[in-house]
Amino acid sequence: MNQPVATLSRLRSVELRTSAASESADFYENVWGLSVVERGSEGAWLRGTGDEHHVLQLTSAEQNGLGRITFAVRTPAEVDEAARRLGARGVPIVAGPGPTGEIAAGYGVSFVDPEGRVIQLLADAYAVTTMHRSDAVPVGVTHVVLNTVDIDAAVAFYTDVLGMRVSDWSEHQMAFLRCNSDHHSIAFNQAEWTAINHVAYEMPSVDHFMRGIGRLRHHGVVPMWGPGRHGPGDNTFSYFADPAGLVCEYTSGIAQVEEDRWLCRVWRRVPELSDTWGTAGPPSAEVRSHMAGVPDDGPFAHRADLRVSADR
Ligand SMILES: [Fe+2]
């Protein structure tokens, strides 16, 4: 079997294409608790308190969708090697390998997955110092959940090509994938169409998580689902809709995986496992609809030459 193209260190940032870029930038800065790094007419870049240059990029678009997911790899040499291996597997490369020329600089390669999502592998991005804030605001992004039309094919690509590991299944409906000791950085949800389901932001503790929910309540923003605690991953959850209707989550306390001891499990989708505190109840039709999103063939949907599935 082919080796994975690279060793992913962690999730760095997520770009969202959003139908309400300006309102959403205001929301993520003034309500959600991120800090604007740069903002222009086409979009905005925002950071958390952690050491990533930015964790969220908002790009103005007619329709909501995923722009790009960026993972860290350790060195430019690994980026070059990843590009070579991606090419050998027939995975379409859309940028790089090379200096990105983007706001966080760095050396990267971007490619398209079998459902049209753009993934970037990035090394040597600009350093920033961590922020000390007394209010309860996110450290950064900790996971992204993606709706897929073929969960087995999605899991196969992200495990075989990107070397991620399956931490747990929620029946045959969701798969939780890790690239480091966090239980999941990516999860796939079997759905009717490809779309982004939600982006989760890490709060440093359950206390920060609850105080963050409280701050949102003072802004008149209440959870669509939560607060609660999931069985798979053991993380707390509280889901909200941003001004464009995209779903964002505050979470804390993700399970840490000890690589050589962890056993993947299949969680039945029953209330006591989906909502271990018993505080959230089942998700409403409203939150399900927001999480389903709109069909998203990706930013390169018009490029028929890029819709080549990987030869693994
Ligand atoms: Fe989540």
Query: At the fourth CATH level, which superfamily is domain 10-123?
Result: 2,3-Dihydroxybiphenyl 1,2-Dioxygenase, domain 1 (3.10.180.10)
pLDDT for 87: 97
CA of 58 to the centre of ligand 1 (A): 19
Question: What's the gap in Å between 32 CA and the centre of ligand 1?
Answer: 16
Tokens of 106: 């760095």
Q: For residue 199, how far is its CA from the centre of ligand 1 (angstroms)?
A: 7
pLDDT of 36 reads 98
CA of 306 from ligand 1 middle (Å) equals 29
Distances from the Cα of 234 to the Cα of 44, 48, 201, 255, angstroms: 32, 22, 15, 6
Q: What is the pLDDT of residue 42?
A: 86
Q: Do 93 and 110 contact (CB within 8 A), yes or no?
A: yes
Domain residue ranges in the chain: 10-123, 140-292
Ligand 1 mean position, distance from CA 20 (Å):
22
Query: Facing residues of 267 across strands?
Result: 170
Phi, psi at 95, each rounded to 5°? -160, 140
Distance from the CA of 248 to the center of ligand 1, in angstroms? 8
CA 201 – ligand 1 centroid, Å = 9
229, burial (CB in 10 Å: exposed 0-12, middle 13-18, buried 19+): buried
Q: Is 220 exposed, middle or buried (0-12, 13-18, 19+ CB in 10 A)?
A: exposed
CA 198 to ligand 1 centroid distance, Å: 7
**Ligand 1 centroid, distance to 160 Cα (angstroms):** 23
CA dist 307 and 304 (Å) reads 5
Tell me whether domains 10-123 and 140-292 share a fold.
yes
Phi/psi at 197 (nearest 5 deg)? -90, -55
Would you mind telling me the total number of residues written for the chain in this entry?
312
Phi, psi of 78 (to 5 degrees): -70, -35
Q: How far is the CA of 167 from the centre of ligand 1 (A)?
A: 14
Which residue stretches of the chain have pLDDT < 70?
1, 307-312
Distance 211 CA to ligand 1 centre (A): 18
Centre of ligand 1 to C-alpha 239, Å, is 8
Quick one: residue 26, left, alpha or beta (phi over 0 = left, psi -120 to 50 = alpha)?
alpha
Cis peptide before 271 (omega within 30 of 0): no
Cβ count within 10 A of residue 269: 12
pLDDT digit string, tens, across residues 214-241: 999 999 999 999 999 999 999 999 999 9
Residue 308's pLDDT is 54
Q: Are 60 and 39 in contact, with CB atoms under 8 Å apart? A: no
- Return d(Cα 98, Cα 93) in angstroms, integer: 12
Q: Ligand 1 mean position to 116 CA, how many Å?
A: 21
Give the pLDDT of residue 2: 82
CA of 303 to the centre of ligand 1 (A): 31
Q: For domain 140-292, say whether CATH 3.10.180.10 is its number.
A: yes
pLDDT at 1: 61
d(CA 16, CA 98): 23
Q: What is the pLDDT of residue 41?
A: 87
